[in-house]
Structure 1
Amino acid sequence: MPASLRYSLAARLHERWRQYAENRRGAAAVEFAMIAVPFFFMIFGLIEVCMIFIASSVLDHAVYEASRPIRTGGVQRESLDKDEFRATVCERFYNLMDCNNLLHVDVRTINRFGLTPNGIPTDAAGNIDPGLLTYNPGGPAEIVAVRVFYEWPLFTPVISRPLVNMPGNKHLLHSAAVFRNEPFTSGGGLSE
């Protein structure tokens, strides 16, 4: 093969390589492809954290609103059981959360405000233990602690890892209200 032909082939390849290296038409698409996966993981992780904060606020509001009838004697007057009280809490979720098997209610009387239960009623595996939950809305002028636990399922696989505090890739939300019942009578009105 003559030297001039080799030179011209090398020169042409060099020129083609230089043109390819200077071509910027697809650079944005390639750069976006490189950062798209981490970018969307971050966005979905941020959305998930925001949803947890919103759900926590909704849970706090639901506990506050559902506890009011206990404090005023309405629950006792109507003899609401645990499932009916649980349904009352669920009504205040605005369809944001699914109550089926994810919502747990603990209502109990305590002797002093300083004896408010503050632990999470879980078994050795980290799941909510229904045997540790009670339902006693109390009587007139008794101190009542209402605790509600919700198992929030997490969806982003890597980003949500620090949020997992239960088995099954879940985050436990909880809210509490502690108050002294009003001095209602068994008929539901206030005593004098």
Structure 2
Amino acid sequence: MAHKINGVIPAGEITNQDKPRRTRLFRRFAKNTKGATAIEFAILAFPFCLLVFAILESTISFATQQVMANAGDSIARELRTGQLRAGDVNEAKLKDLVCGKLEVIVADGCPGLEVDLREFPTFDAAAKVRVKLTSDKDIDTSDFAVTPGDALSINMLRVFYRWPVMTDLMRSSMSNLKDGKTLLFSTITWRNEPYS
């Protein structure tokens, strides 16, 4: 047994009897996991929630973009084949057609929807059209029109939707329009068939 001086064992005089006692204390401390799960959850919960919300927000946004592209393709096909004629289409009807195909995923009445359908002399002229934003970060619709061409004409349909970013944490990185919205769009360019 080690000799204690004033209740303290001098360094280097620890006996074999004291080693198992310290080992037992260390093992008991290492086995005690009370609260470890709560601490691990507290450390990981916030980044995990951020990741989940980012994935959900991106998924819903991309799904909406795809539904909108499909709606544009469907309407363009009807115009290309002559099922919809130039005289039958105005802005209100075109918005109703697009909104009818989007109502599964957007708010009732499609409040953020804009459409632009024009005839162009060449595909090159259609390719030069750009999306413009106003100074207050909204879509510039000043040159939008609904003027489709007749048989064999070159046309371009552009569909825009002001999509609200739903999670506050994603708003700063995803939004590119005012009021925390992001611009979803679809463009289809085609030549009408020679229908009569």
* TM-score, normalised relative to structure 2: 0.77
Q: Distance in 1 between matches of 2:87 and 2:43?
A: 62
Aligned pairs, number: 169
> Match for residue 84 of structure 2?
75
SS for the counterpart of 1:152 is strand
Query: Which of 82, 101, 104 pairs up with 2:111?
Result: 101
- Superposition RMSD in Å: 2.3
Q: Which has the greater radius of gyration?
A: 2
SS for the counterpart of 1:171 is strand
In the alignment, structure 2 segments of 5+ residues that lack a partner are 1-6, 8-25
Q: Distance in 2 between matches of 1:68 and 1:37?
A: 47
Deviation at residue 160 of structure 1 after TM alignment: 4.4
CA contact (8 A) 1:75 1:137 kept: no
Deviation at residue 77 of structure 1 after TM alignment: 6.4
CA distance 1:37–1:22, change in 2 (3 Å): same
* Structure 1 stretches of at least 4 aligned residues deviating more than 6 Å after TM superposition: 18-22
> Match for residue 153 of structure 2?
142
Matched, 1:183 2:174: no
Q: Which amino acid aligns with 2:57?
A: E
* TM-score, normalised relative to structure 1: 0.78
> Match for residue 28 of structure 1?
37
SS for the counterpart of 1:129 is coil
Q: Which amino acid aligns with 2:119?
A: T
CA contact (8 A) 2:89 2:146 kept: no
Deviation at residue 63 of structure 1 after TM alignment: 0.3
In the alignment, structure 1 segments of 5+ residues that lack a partner are 1-6, 8-17, 186-192
Deviation at residue 166 of structure 1 after TM alignment: 1.0
